[in-house]
Structure 1
Amino acid sequence: MAGPGDIDAKGACGAAGTKRSAMPEVYVESEFAPLRTVVLAQSEVSIPASAMSSDDMRFLSAESRKEIAGGGDMKDFAPERQARWAGEREAFRAVLERHGVQVHRPRLLTPEEKAAAGDGYANFFARDPFFTVGNQVVEASIRFLHRRREVLPLREVMRDHVYPSDCTYVAAPMPEVAAPDDPTLGPGPFLEGGDVLVLGKKVFVDTSGPASNPLGIQWLAKFLAPYGYTVEQVRLHERILHLDCALGFIKEGLLVASEEALLEGIPESLKEWEKVTVDLDQATSLATNGLPLGPDVYVTDPEFSFLGQEIERFGVRVEYVDFSITRSLGGSFRCSTQPLLRKF
């Protein structure tokens, strides 16, 4: 018989003595199912000079590289910019909460975590360090060295909202250690949340940007197969970091995409969908990285009002939040969030 502090037979995501109906729910049905619970990133980063000089940072514009090339923590070398960045996230949070979304925030990095990270650290895009497919929560395996501990501030969110839920919680395999002069950072496996798009039992993942790689996708396909999911690989232009920077689902039958960024075009299973298109330069500015709050509301940056006007033609309400600082760092609304509950 289990004692008061024992875990019962429901496993790691079940809590002893907790009624199923009282558990927090974790489930992501699709990219546009109504967003009910989400993790919103903090605004904390120190990008190392070694990363800034890497070809893998080619997804950032020359202007963006110049703006963040000061080295060290942004709050120290660009405090005004840091304040504007944090303000963008708070404005976004207000929109989320106005639409009834429950918002969780990761904690800040500790001094010890910053020191252990070595030359740079990150706690700024909640999409990549973990992701949710159905009721499977997966800690990712990130390629960039300064981002590999980015999941740590999220672990408290996991303990509070994932452990008590009726779900699966696993971590992708740790990447292998690469030689110091290996620009690929080794064989991985690498698997990042920005590369993962969920559409029912089908999952789209890219393998050609400087993030997830074939070994990471192979692991994900193997993990998800027993749950009835299929994984389709998508190839990207070298200037695109993640799949959600080239392709986004707005609602059933409607997507936004940069066909220039998709080397083999729109995936076959999506070719009958209506599409709003952007060019490659707009994609690198994060035009496709808006966030549906459901099939009838979409959030994007006023920089992309031309896109918002097109989306509104399909009966979707568009909300605008200035995310210019966030976008200069290589991510936008989808990158800044990770859903725990998206369900009709």
Structure 2
Amino acid sequence: MLTLHITDEISPLKAVVLGSAKSNGPTPSVEDAYDPKSREHILAGTYPSEEDMVNEMEGVVKVLQKYGVKVFRPHVLENYNQIFARDISFVIEDKIIIANILPDREREIDATEHVWSHVEKSFRIILPDACHVEGGDVMPWNDHIFVGTYRGDDYADYITARTNMKAVEALQNLFPHKKVKSFNLRKSNTDPRMNALHLDCCFQPIGKGKAIIHKESFLEVEEYEWLVNFFGKENCFHITTDEMASMFSNIFSISPDVIISERNFTRLNDWLRTEGFTVEEVAYGEIAKQGGLLRCSTMPLVREG
């Protein structure tokens, strides 16, 4: 059996599911795009090739293995996008929550069954159908769980609104001893600069008490200010709207002082190094064209502590 353990975003990583770009399928039509970033690249003729994305993900495998992390991969489904493992499930404490994902993507859950079927059944949670949630919106952080959501009455109009308030309430019921704090995020179906697809696309806590944040992605200024006060203004690295759209906040912590980051995130990576982090740079710019980056494509199962 697999004993899960995740209480934060930074403790030393022991086991993780990394998505797969193999047999990724043809370039989707504009109508079938799940997010504005993909849509932008489909329209521009710059949608990434399978070969490039497979190579980028293999680079991440090498970094994870360098630090002794056990890496699980989904079974490959033919002509199917399975890159973003974080969307379909996530772990809090010793429980795995299987997401109620976009109906088109349900097969992705079956492709990771060889991982979650080794978790004791009572620790596998499937939320009620009315609860919409994806792992990119959910961040365990010690006695808190941070959750990105969209509270607008027009929720159903946004394909980019992935986590609703019913899911926030369900998480609070599942983890009554935690403080579940939700954040109302800006959504757009067509403009990646005006869309925070998930919470990790505009915010992420990292080691040493630091955090990366994009102010304009938060629809309620007081919720943004709550986060800044929680971490301390001097500990927050503010990213620009262009940097947010390039996924600067979607890096991934292997430990409190080791971070995997995209090699072109020069301003961020320089700051991380000045703050004492080891930055493992990888090429992930092709993956980023689909509206996700390193945190989106990884789903931690076990962290130390």
Structure-1-length-normalised TM-score: 0.76
Correspondence for 1:231: 180
Correspondence for 2:252: 291
Correspondence for 1:154: 112
- 1:72-127 deviation per Cα after TM superposition (whole angstroms, max 9, x unaligned): xxxxxx7xx211110111111000000111111111126xxx7xxxxxx5322100
Correspondence for 2:136: 194
1:340 paired with 2:301, answer yes
- 1:50-88 deviation per Cα after TM superposition (whole angstroms, max 9, x unaligned): 333xxx62354623553477xxxxxxxx7xx21111011
> 1:285–1:63: structure 2 CA closer, same or farther, 3 Å change rule?
same
Q: State the shift of 1:282 in Å.
A: 1.1
Correspondence for 1:87: 55
Correspondence for 1:74: none
- 1:208-253 deviation per Cα after TM superposition (whole angstroms, max 9, x unaligned): 252111122122222221xx12211012122110000000111141
Q: For 1:310, which of 263, 268, 271 is the aligned residue? A: 271
60-69 or 29-38, which deviates more: 60-69
Structure-2-length-normalised TM-score: 0.85
Q: For 1:249, which of 205, 217, 223 is the aligned residue? A: 205
Correspondence for 2:156: none
Q: Partner of 2:217: helix, strand, or coil?
A: coil
Are 2:149 and 2:185, in contact at CA under 8 Å, matched by a contact in 1?
yes
Correspondence for 1:210: 161
Q: Which amino acid aligns with 1:34?
A: P
Q: For 2:120, which of 163, 166, 169 is the aligned residue? A: 163
Correspondence for 1:123: 82
Q: Which amino acid aligns with 1:104?
A: F
Correspondence for 2:73: 105
- How far apart, in 2, do the equivalents of 1:266 and 1:224 lie? 25
Q: How does 1:270-281 map to 2 (within 5 A)?
A: 270-272=230-232, 274-281=235-242
- 1:125-165 deviation per Cα after TM superposition (whole angstroms, max 9, x unaligned): 100100001111100111x33223321101111124x239x
Are 1:29 and 1:343, in contact at CA under 8 Å, matched by a contact in 2?
no
Give the structure with higher Rg (CA): 1
Q: Partner of 2:161: helix, strand, or coil?
A: coil
> 1:152–1:293: structure 2 CA closer, same or farther, 3 Å change rule?
same
- How far apart, in 1, do the equivalents of 2:225 and 2:149 lie? 15
- How far apart, in 1, do the equivalents of 2:225 and 2:264 lie? 24
RMSD (Å), alpha carbons: 2.2
Q: Which amino acid aligns with 2:174?
A: F
Q: Provide the aligned length of Structure 1 versus Structure 2.
A: 281
> 1:260–1:91: structure 2 CA closer, same or farther, 3 Å change rule?
same
Q: Which amino acid aligns with 1:196?
A: V
- How far apart, in 1, do the equivalents of 2:167 and 2:37 lie? 21
- 1:176-203 deviation per Cα after TM superposition (whole angstroms, max 9, x unaligned): xxxxxxxxxxxx4211000001101210
> 1:42–1:163: structure 2 CA closer, same or farther, 3 Å change rule?
farther
Correspondence for 1:6: none
- How far apart, in 1, do the equivalents of 2:66 and 2:272 lie? 21
Correspondence for 2:190: none
Are 2:24 and 2:50, in contact at CA under 8 Å, matched by a contact in 1?
no
- How far apart, in 2, do the equivalents of 1:229 and 1:153 lie? 31
Q: For 2:218, which of 255, 258, 262 is the aligned residue? A: 262
Q: Which runs of 5+ in 2 are unaligned?
A: 151-159, 188-194
- How far apart, in 1, do the equivalents of 2:147 and 2:45 lie? 30
Q: Which amino acid aligns with 1:136?
A: K
> 1:28–1:201: structure 2 CA closer, same or farther, 3 Å change rule?
same
> 1:49–1:146: structure 2 CA closer, same or farther, 3 Å change rule?
farther
- 1:235-272 deviation per Cα after TM superposition (whole angstroms, max 9, x unaligned): 21221100000001111410111112123224346242
Identity %: 26
1:50 paired with 2:31, answer yes
